[in-house]
Chains A and B, each alone.
Chain A
C-alpha cells in the first residue's frame, strides 16, 4: 500500500498517531500539502462517511476519524496558508436559534472539512442575522442549518427568509437534523436536505458544482 493509501486508511480507522506520522513522512518525501489533503485525508473521511451512511459505523467512529484528520491538519494548515492555498468553497454552519444541540451540526462540519471545504462554525442557538453576517463576511457560497427539536424547526424558515431578504439569493442553503425532512426543506425554500452527515457532503458539492 502506498503511504497515501495508508494515510487514508489511518484516518478512516481513527488512528491519529499513525495518521500524523504518515502525514509527516509524506511531507518529508516531498508531497505537496494539498495533495496530501486531497489524496490522503479526503478519501479517508469519505470512506468512513460512506460506512456511516450505511449504518456500518456510528457516531463514535466518525468522531475518532475526524480527530485523526484534525491532527494531520495541524501539520498541514500552516503550509497550506504559507502557499496561499485556500479551500475552493467556504460554507457557514450553525444550529438555529433556540436550539442548543450540536452533535449533528458538528458531524456535518467535520465531514465538510473532511471534503476540504472551508467551514465557519457559528455554534448553537444562532440568530438569523448572525448567519447573514457570517455569509457576507466570509463570502460563503453555502450555509448549513441544523435543528434537533421539532419546536425549533420554524427558526429554520425564519433564517432562510432572513438570508434571502438580505439579498443573498445565490447562497445555497442546506438543512438537516432529526425532525427535518426533504419536504420541509422545499416548503421553507431551502436548496437541499441532508439525511446524514455523509450525504451533507454530496448534497453540498452537487449544489456548488451544478
Chain B
C-alpha cells in the first residue's frame, strides 16, 4: 500500500476544500510516556525513537490527515540550551525518518509537515538576538527538514511578527515549492505575548508568503476560536489553521491536568469546518481521543 501522498496534492488541499485534521500534542503526550520534567522532547528522537514513532502512529490511527515532526525546538538556539546545538541536521533528519516510518507502518497515506518553533530568545532591540542569526538558525533547520523529505513546513507558537517572518522566509528559501504555515500563540485577551493582534498576524504572515495562517497553543478551543474568527474577518480569503490546547491546565492533587474533554474539541472541529478552516488539530493536553472526536465530527459534517 502506498503510504505517502504527493506533496502537490497537499498544496491543493490547503488552498481549498474540506477541512483537514492535523495531529495533537507532542510534549504533554511524551510526558505521559515518561519524558522527564524539563527534558527536551527532541532528545527522545534519538533516546526513545520507539515512543516518538508510537505517538505519530496513534495520531494516524486516530484519523489525522497530516502529522507534524518532533522538531518544535530543533533549532540551534533551543537545542543549545540542552547541549545539542550541534545536532540540528541530525535530529531534524531522524525525526522526519521516524514519522515516515510510522506512516509506512500504518499504511494510510498522511502528509508530514516539519514543525519549527521560535528560538526562545528576543530579537533586537528587545533582546540580544540579531535577526541574521535567527534567520540562519531557522534556515539550517528548514533545510534539514526539507532535505529529509517533509511535505510542508509549519512555523508555530510564535509571539513576535519579526521572528515568524524570519522563520517563514527561511522556510521559503529551503523549500520554495512546499506549502508553508505560520501560526502564533495568543493569550486569553487576544494578543500574543509581544502584543500582536489576530488582524496584525494575518496581514504579516500572508505577506511573509505563508499559504496558511493561524493560531495554536496557549488557550483552549473557545479562546482560540475567537482569534480564528477575527483572522477570518480581517482576511476572508486567508486559509486558516487552528490547534488549541485542551483548555488551561487545572491543578488536581498538585499535578497540572488539562481538563477539556474530547467531545468539546470535536464540537470545535465542527465549528471550524463551518467557518471554512483549512486545518484543525490540537496542541498541549490533546490526546488521540480528542483527535478521534474531531475526526468523527469532521466526517459527520462532510
Contact = CB atoms under 8 A, between A and B. Distances in A.
A and B associate in one complex? yes
Interface of A: 55, 57-61, 63-64, 67, 97-101, 103, 125, 149-155, 157, 179, 181, 183-184, 187-188
A187 B195 contact: no
A14 B169 CA distance: 30
10 contacts: A59-B195, A100-B82, A150-B256, A151-B256, A154-B37, A154-B255, A155-B37, A157-B254, A179-B248, A184-B251
Given A64-B126, A103-B122, A57 B195 contact: yes
Question: Of B37, B125, B189, which is in contact with the most chain A CB atoms at under 10 Å from its CB?
Answer: B37
B254 A59 contact: no
Given A125-B38, A149-B38, A154 B122 contact: no
B176 interface: no
Contacts of B85: none
B123 to A, nearest CB: 10
Interface residues of B, number: 26
Given A151-B37, A154-B37, A179-B256, A59 B193 contact: yes
Nearest to A98: B38
Contact of A58 (B120, B127, B191, B248): B191
Interface of B: 28, 31, 36-39, 81-82, 120, 122, 125-127, 159, 189, 191-195, 248-249, 251, 254-256
B191 A55 contact: yes
Contact of A183 (B126, B194, B251, B255): B251
Given A55-B191, A59-B195, A179 B38 contact: no
Contacts of A60: 126, 194-195
B81 A100 contact: yes
B124 to A, nearest CB: 11
Contacts of B39: 98
A153 B254 CA distance: 9
Contacts of A153: 256
A113 B225 CA distance: 38
B256 A100 contact: no
A126 to B, nearest CB: 12
A188 B122 CA distance: 32
Nearest to A104: B193
A140 B192 CA distance: 34
Contacts of B256: 150-151, 153, 179
B249 A179 contact: yes
Given A59-B195, A67-B125, A187-B254, 14 more contacts: A55-B191, A58-B192, A58-B193, A59-B159, A59-B193, A64-B125, A98-B38, A98-B39, A100-B81, A149-B38, A151-B37, A151-B38, A155-B37, A183-B251
A157 B82 CA distance: 24
Contacts of B251: 181, 183-184, 187
Ranked nearest first, the 9 interchain pairs of A and B with the lowest CB-CB distance are A98-B38, A58-B195, A150-B256, A98-B37, A63-B126, A150-B249, A151-B37, A100-B81, A60-B126
B300 to A, nearest CB: 32
Contacts of A149: 37-38
Contacts of A152: 37-38
A89 B122 CA distance: 29
Contacts of A125: 38
Given A55-B189, A58-B191, A63 B254 contact: no
Nearest to B189: A55
Contacts of B36: 98
Nearest to A52: B195
Question: Of A58, A64, A187, which is in contact with the most chain B CB atoms at under 10 Å from its CB?
Answer: A58
Contacts of B120: 100-101
Nearest to B126: A63
B194 to A, nearest CB: 5
